[in-house]
Amino acid sequence: MKFSAKSRYALKLIVDLAENKNETVVSLSDISARQDVSKKYLEQIVPMLVKAGIVRANRGANGGYALNKNPDSCTVGDILRAVEGELFPAEMPENESDRKVAFVWEEIHSAMEKAIDSISVQDILDHNSGFLDYCI
C-alpha cells in the first residue's frame, strides 16, 4: 500500500510535537520550518488529529498545538487512521475467482495492521536518538 503525503506529513508533525513536548505548545509555523512542510498543508491535517484526540489545540495569541497522548501509547496506526480513515475498506469479493484468493488480501491487511499498531511515537523517537547531528 502506498500512503499519501498527508500520512507522511502527519507522522512528521506528531514526531515534531513529541520531540518538543517540553514546550507548552508548538506553532504550526515552527513545525513547518523544522519539517520543511507547507504550513497550509499542516493546517489541513491538524483538525483530523485533534478530532482523533491525538493532538490538542490551544487558541489565542500564544496558541499552538501539543501532543494529547503519551508517545508510548500513540501508534503509527492511530495517526494513519486519523488522517486516512480505514486503511483497507473491507469489500466482499465480487466473483468466485476473487473469493478463492480473498484470504491473501486479508492476511496482508492483518500483517500491515499489526505492524503499524506495534510502532509507537516513542519507538520512532528512540530509533532516531542513536543518530548524532554534527558537522565536520
- CB under 8 Å to 45, separation ≥6 — which residues? 6, 9, 10, 13, 83
* 133 inside domain: no
- pLDDT, tens only, 70-107: 999 999 999 999 999 877 655 666 776 777 778 888 88
Output the pTM of the full model.
0.83
* 82 inside domain: yes
* 41 inside domain: yes
* 135 inside domain: no
Tell me the three cell numbers of residue 60: 489565542
Range of the domain at 50: 5-128
Of the candidate ranges 19-23, 53-57, 117-121, the one whose mean pLDDT is the lowest: 19-23
Number of domains the chain is built from = 1
- CB under 8 Å to 115, separation ≥6 — which residues? none
- From first CA to last CA, the distance across the chain in angstroms is 39
* 136 inside domain: no
The average confidence (pLDDT) of the chain is 87
CATH number of 15's domain: 1.10.10.10
* 134 inside domain: no
